[in-house]
Amino acid sequence: METDSDSGGSHISATPPRCQNPPSPPPPQTNTLSSSNSKVRVNPSHLSETKKPTKSKPSQPAPPTPPPPPSDSTPLPTLPFQIRRSFSQNPSISAFNSLETLPAGFCSRLASFTKIQKPSLRFENDQSLPTPSNPQGINGIKSDAFAKKKKQINLVSVDVPLPPAKLRKCNGEGNFVRLNLNNNKRKFANKGKRNKSFRGKLSYRRSKKKLNKNETESKGAEDEYGLIIENLEQNQKNRRAAGELELVEDAVRAVKDEASNENLGRLLRLVYGYDSFRDGQLEAIKMVLDKKSTMLVLPTGAGKSLCYQIPAMILPGLTLVVCPLVALMIDQLRHLPPVIHGGFLSSSQRPEEVAETIRLIQVGAIKVLFVSPERFLNADFLSIFTATSFISLVVVDEAHCVSEWSHNFRPSYMRLRASLLRARLNVECILAMTATATTTTLRDVMSALEIPLSNLIQKAQLRDNLQLSVSLSGNNRMKDLLMLMKSSPFTEVQSIIIYCKFQFETDLISRYLCDNSISVKSYHSGIPAKDRSRIQELFCSNKIRVVVATVAFGMGLDKRDVGAVIHYSLPESLEEYVQEIGRAGRDGRLSYCHLFLDDITYFRLRSLMYSDGVDEYAINKFLCQVFTNGMNSHGKLCSLVKESASRKFDIKEEVMLTLLTCLELGEIQYLQLLPELNVTCTLNFHKTTPTLLADKDKMVATILKKSETKQGQYVFDIPTVANSIGATTIDVSNQLLNLKMRGEITYELKDPAYCYTIVEVPSDFCALSAHLTKWLSEVENCKVRKLDRMFHAAVFAVDVCEKMHGCNGSLHTPCLQKNTLDYFRGDDNCDVPNKIGQSSPFLRADIKVFLQSNLNAKFTPRAVARILQGIASPAYPSTIWSKTHFWGRYVQINFQVVMEAAKAELLNFAGKDVL
């Protein structure tokens, strides 16, 4: 089985990899929704399909064409941020972005802002502005700016000001400038604002246009008339906005004077248009304004974002929001109310975009900044924050990711420990937010972030408007699904999300539903990002009724009227279940959540829970490589090429990262991680001969010494060169870029690697490997327990509860709610009965045959057990090993039992690597 990247960025103890290899289509069967078939026999053929090869293409050297040298006078002439340079000529505008510092005469300046804003409102449609056909535009904005603006989601510009109107009712339009750049400017800028009479005039204009096709004179007059109306409309809006902004200004001042319920309520009404706070919101906002670090646990869709947005308006410094996924950041950014200027930093941005965002932070033009936890590896990022651009609040969104006992642990979240935040960023207050955390997870998160137990705000983690049901399903789940979709209440529901475990399933199901006249699209991380956002857009605008998706869909999706969520496959934990059903009924209306339960999915998922495990022996070898690399080079740069190391030690890349992070952030700091880098450089010289250039440039001289030459190209390792000249990898990259800009060289980088410097070499490798192995195995067991709890809750609903807890027929809301809430509130460490087999009479014999038929291969017990359970690993990829008919044959037997049997059989084989 191949890993599917739809794990939402999860790592070792998080969501296990998704399987991409399709099982054989289920044979036709007659069971219906009610005729369940819980005793599913495992059919090995379902588990041994051919896998899609994931081999990466060897990269080709770039054609050696030197780029044209740029002009000195215009260093980055075509960049979108050029548009905003006028900011520096008008420093007062920066104040606009901080409600904290709104100047007294602010509103009177609004008129001049709108003068600038007018062209930007018309940016897309106005022929006088740059378009692909008119690249220059009246303002001389070049076509590149036009072409690139779509990408500039975080362009919170200071001379393209806030939207003049729309202070009331935050409707997800977010910051105007960002939305401009999302290609929807016009739509958003005017959305819902034109009054009836204006619409009437527009349609009058349109119909007139049709009638008088050739009457150009009257058309011109009509356009002029339209423009006058539009300008009047705009002026009115600006006046309204000025008035409303003044009110917001007043309300902010009032809250700063006294954070009373009344003052906060007024601000809520003005900025969001909501009448009252929801449960938990006011409490959380007040705690944060009191600078008390807080743990906030509210159900999905309960309005957690507002709990940092309001403080961001009041607090003097920046609010830094840490999000696990870029998509989530962008989504949150879009949902900021227009009065709060936001930005984000991510590795997907171009250096110029990052530089511009940093500049805006430094001039105080950004109030809320979204970053990924990986950003904390970057020394440049940490150095942005100074006495003038300081952080008032750090928000840890999806805070459960901090804990390895959560369903979605991310090692990079370990970087968010309070001690580190305080030491590096001088952070006073932390707000941690989640919708799904067990007591164990909460304790862990609060301890890492040093949040006192008394500062926990926790409300029930399930909303009452979700009607929950489960049904057993056998071999023809697709047919069951179709029947469900064609029955009440699902037929009446406008928007439905169907969650599947594997990418191939989403495509298969969406084809099947399409064939049965249902408007549907599939969504998973294998689909190009552009298409994914299009699908999300179509779904949000009700142009597609159903989305069949993996876990990749939904995080941050705030479509209020999703009426149903169907789980085609069992979720991996109750946390995942709650997150996903939480996409339904965000408008508070009754919504339907159905789960199909089948044993095969459970067995397969349970096997996958073991795909991250590592043997002590492998960890020991890994540690040797990590530290022997730099035995004599304390403080020097070291790197570990991800792909080759992963294959060599048979450890997944995410697990290697987890281990390295533990070595950095554990009790003893053994190393310091640096940003990841492509470390192998293949370089061509163009203008000057290499030796002549080496005479003038120390780095080039070192490159010549440290390179291998292949067909006239110089191939070298960036950290090696950096170490030799006593520079950082960033310095080397910058110098290379500089030479490239001068037309001297072209180069290509490959081999993504983890980079680090060694702080201390461990004194006892064996003890350290034992410790890390034990930890990884505890994390693995925790994941297995979570899956068992999910399975148990679903089985209980269909098999056991029968009219207990008020359940009725196929509706299981009371018992599922109870089981879920008990799980979140109680001890999640306890084992529950499971269906997994503990022995098989043929197991040992099959292992023996398997080993005999693969005498040339070297196996560990774990490797054998993985193959028998159909789990791919870096050294035993499914492309090769799924061809054996033993692949996945023992998926229904406990992994540990299979591993023990493999160990015993391996011991009988002399010459094998037995552990």
Ligand X SMILES: Nc1ncnc2c1ncn2[C@@H]1O[C@H](COP(=O)(O)OP(=O)(O)OP(=O)(O)O)[C@@H](O)[C@H]1O
CB of 298 to ligand X, least distance (A): 5
Minimum distance, C-beta of residue 141 to ligand X, in the bound complex (Å): 34
Which lies closer to ligand X via its Cβ, residue 325 or residue 722? 325
Q: Which is nearer to ligand X, 170 or 425 (CB)?
A: 170
Q: Which is nearer to ligand X, 52 or 278 (CB)?
A: 278
Angle formed at CA 174 by CA 163 and CA 116, multiple of 5 degrees: 25
Give the span between the Cα atoms of 397 and 372, in whole angstroms.
10
| Residue numbers 103-142 binding ligand X by CB under 6 A | none
Beta strands 294-297; 429-434: pairing state: parallel
Kindly tell me which of 265 and 877 has the beta carbon lying closer to ligand X: 265
CA 267 to chain centre: 31
Q: Please, which of residues 274-313 interact with ligand X by CB under 6 A? A: 274, 277-278, 281, 298, 300-306
Pattern of binders to ligand X over 834-873, x per CB under 6 A?
A: ----------------------------------------
Which of 557, 893 has the CB closer to ligand X?
557
Please, is 264 exposed, middle or buried when counting C-beta atoms within 10 Å of its C-beta (0-12, 13-18, 19+)?
A: buried
Tokens encoding 297: 């646990």
Of the pair 461, 688, the CB lying nearest ligand X is at 461
Of residues 582 and 630, the one with the C-beta less far from ligand X = 582
CA distance 858 to 551: 35
Q: Which is nearer to ligand X, 435 or 660 (by Cβ)?
A: 435
CA distances 329 to 311, 321, 577, Å, are: 18, 9, 22
For the bound state, the minimum distance from the C-beta of residue 178 to ligand X, rounded and expressed in Å, comes to: 17
Q: Which is nearer to ligand X, 592 or 622 (CB)?
A: 592
Q: Shortest gap between Cβ of 303 and ligand X (angstroms)?
A: 3
Smallest Cα–Cα separation from 350: which of 8, 737, 69? 737
Torsion sign across C-alpha atoms 773, 775, 781, 783: negative
In whole angstroms, give the CA distance from residue 853 to residue 755: 40
Tokens 């952070």 locate to 427
Q: Tell me which stretch binds ligand X (CB under 6 A): 158-166, 272-280, 686-694, 775-783.
A: 272-280
CB 409 to ligand X: min, Å: 18
We find the least distance from the C-beta atom of residue 554 to ligand X, in angstroms, to be 8
SS (H, E, C) 377-425: HCHHHHCCCCCCCCEEEEEECCHHHHCCCCCCCCHHHHHHCHHHHHHHH
**Rounded Cα gap, residues 165 and 273, in angstroms:** 13
Site for ligand X in 160-219 (CB under 6 A): 170
Looking at 124, 246, 428, 558, which residue binds ligand X (CB under 6 A)?
558
Q: Please, how many CA atoms are within 13 Å of residue 510, restricted to the half-sphere of its CB?
A: 25
Q: Where are the alpha helices (DSSP H) in 609-672?
A: 616-628, 642-649, 653-665
**Rounded least distance, CB 677 to ligand X, Å:** 33
Cα 495 to Cα 163: distance, rounded to the nearest angstrom = 31
CB 583 within 8 Å of CB 497: yes
Instruction: Considering the complex, state which of residue 174 and residue 301 has its C-beta at the smaller distance from ligand X.
Output: 301
Of 66 and 172, which has the nearer Cβ to ligand X? 172
Q: Which is nearer to ligand X, 301 or 338 (CB)?
A: 301
Measured from the CB atom, the residue of 300 and 720 that comes closer to ligand X is: 300
Can you state the angle between helices 110-121 and 216-257, rounded to 10 degrees? Answer: 130
In whole angstroms, how large is the CA radius of gyration of the chain? 30
**Shortest distance in whole angstroms from residue 557 CB to ligand X:** 8
Distance of CA 779 to the CA centre of its chain: 22
Annotate each residue in 505-544 with x if it binds ligand X (CB under 6 A) or - if it does not, as one string.
----------------------------------------
DSSP letters, 85-143, are: GGGGG-THHHHHT-GGG--TTTGGGHHHHHHHHHHHHTTTT-TTS--SSSSS-TT---H
Phi, psi (rounded to 5 degrees) for 644: -70, -40
How far apart CA 656 and CA 649 sit, in angstroms, is 9
User: Of 406-445, which residues contact ligand X (CB under 6 A)?
Assistant: 435
Binding of ligand X by 553 (CB under 6 A): no
Q: Site residues for ligand X, window 240-269 (CB under 6 A)? A: none
- Is beta strand 713-717 parallel, antiparallel or unpaired with respect to 637-641? unpaired
The set of residues, in sequence order, having a beta carbon less than 8 Å from that of 700 and lying 6+ positions away, is 690, 693, 694, 739
Give the strand pairing for 708-710 and 713-717.
antiparallel
Q: How far is the CB of 591 from ligand X (least distance, A)?
A: 14
Contact 240, 226 (CB under 8 A): no
Which residue in 174, 194, 198 sits closest to 184, CA to CA? Answer: 174
* Distance in Å, CB of 107 to ligand X, minimum: 26
Subset of 749-808 contacting ligand X (CB under 6 A):
none
* Paired tokens of 772: 């890390």
The two three-digit tokens of residue 513, written as one number: 């539903």
The minimum distance between CB 549 and ligand X, in angstroms, equals: 15
Binding residues for ligand X, rule CB under 6 A, total 18
Q: Would strands 745-758 and 671-685 be described as parallel, antiparallel, or unpaired?
A: antiparallel
Going through 18-73 in order, the beta strands assigned E by DSSP cover: none
Would you mind telling me the total number of residues written for the chain in this entry?
A: 915
Question: Among the candidate windows 119-127, 270-278, 400-408, 641-649, which touches ligand X by CB under 6 A?
Answer: 270-278
Q: How far is the CB of 281 from ligand X (least distance, A)?
A: 6
* Residue 140 CA from chain centroid, whole number: 37
Which range in 271-279, 446-454, 792-800, 857-865 contacts ligand X by CB under 6 A? 271-279
Tokens of 883: 């061809």
To ligand X, the closest distance from the beta carbon of 305 in angstroms equals 3
Structure tokens at 746: 């072209």
- Measured from the CB atom, the residue of 586 and 606 that comes closer to ligand X is 586
Nearer to ligand X, 305 or 389 (CB): 305
Between 339 and 651, name the residue whose CB sits nearer to ligand X. Answer: 339
Cα(342)–Cα(505) distance, integer angstroms:
37
**Straight-line distance from the first to the last Cα atom of the chain, in angstroms, rounded to the nearest whole number:** 25
Q: Which residues are registered as beta bridge partners of 83? A: none
Q: Is 298 or 753 the residue whose CB approaches ligand X more closely?
A: 298
Q: Shortest Cβ contact with ligand X: which residue? A: 303
Query: Closer to ligand X at the Cβ: 331 or 788?
Result: 331
Minimum separation from the CB atom of position 640 to ligand X (A): 35
Hey, CA dihedral for 124, 126, 128, 131, is it positive or negative?
Answer: positive
Among 8, 411, 582, 874, binds ligand X (CB under 6 A): 582
Q: Min. distance of Cβ 279 from ligand X in angstroms?
A: 9
- Give the interface with ligand X as residue ranges (CB under 6 A): 170, 274, 277-278, 281, 298, 300-306, 435, 556, 558, 582, 586
